[in-house]
Amino acid sequence: MPIKRTRFAPSPTGLMHVGNAFAALQCQHWALSNDAELLLRIEDIDFTRCRPEYTQTIIEDLQWLGITWHGKIRQQSQHLTCYQQALSKLQQLELIYPCFCTRSQIQQEIKSMASAPHSDDMHDPYPGICRNIPIIKRQQRMQHEAFAWRLDVKKACQTLHQSIYWLDEQGNQYHVQAETLGDIVVARKDIAISYHLAVIVDDALQGISHIIRGEDLRSSTPIHRLLQTLLGLPAPTYQHHRLMMDSHGNRLAKRNQSTTLKSLREAGMSPQILRNFLMSKDATWPFAYDSSASAIVQQLGRRT
236-264 pLDDT, tens digit per residue, is 999 999 999 887 788 888 777 789 999 99
Per-residue pLDDT, 117? 34
Within-domain flag for 224: no
Per-residue pLDDT, 115? 38
Strands (E), 80-147: 96-99
Within-domain flag for 212: no
Stretch 176-184: mean pLDDT: 84
Residues 25 and 63 grouped into a single domain: yes
The predicted-structure confidence for 9-37, as pLDDT tens digits, reads as follows 999 999 999 999 999 999 999 999 999 99
Output the average pLDDT for the chain. Answer: 90
pTM: 0.90
Residue range of the domain that includes 264: 5-76+244-303
Residues 99 and 69 grouped into a single domain: no
Contacts of 157 (CB under 8 A, 6+ apart): 164, 176, 178, 226
Residues 103 and 182 grouped into a single domain: yes
Residues 44 and 87 grouped into a single domain: no
d(CA 284, CA 274): 12
Domain count, the chain: 2
Cα–Cα distances in angstroms (integers) from residue 154 to residues 94, 160, 246, 256, in the given order: 12, 10, 39, 36
Within-domain flag for 112: yes
The predicted-structure confidence for 128-179, as pLDDT tens digits, reads as follows 899 999 999 999 999 999 999 999 999 999 898 888 999 888 889 999 887 7
Amino acid at 86: A
